[in-house]
Amino acid sequence: MLSSYPVACPHDDCDWTGSLIPSLVRGGPRAEITSLQPAWFRCPRCRRDWEARIKDDTVIILLGVEQGS
């Protein structure tokens, strides 16, 4: 069973929220992620990716996704 996580798209112009199964690599197949492994999510609305870490079932979005200037 792959675990999905409640996430909110971090991109400024997209407010999608929902449940996603992460990938170990950007754009890769969905995978079971263990704590503090790299986790990539792809937004089903804007199709952009972002990187996060999962710690104790909490999704931590890494900084530097698309920093506005």
Angle at CA of residue 23, ends 60 and 7, nearest 5°: 40
Q: Is 52 in the site for Zn ion (CB under 5 A)?
A: no
- What is the per-residue binding string for Zn ion in 10-49, x denoting contact by CB under 5 A? -x--x-x--------------------------x-xx---
Candidates 3-11, 20-28, 34-42, 51-59; binding stretch for Zn ion (CB under 5 A): 3-11
Size of the site for Zn ion (CB under 5 A): 7
Question: How far is the C-alpha of 67 from the C-alpha of 2, rounded, in Å?
Answer: 30
Least Cα distance to 61 among 3, 1, 2, 12 occurs for 12
Cβ 34 to Zn ion shortest distance, Å: 25
Strands 38-42 and 5-8: unpaired
For Zn ion, the binding residues (CB under 5 A) are 9, 11, 14, 16, 43, 45-46
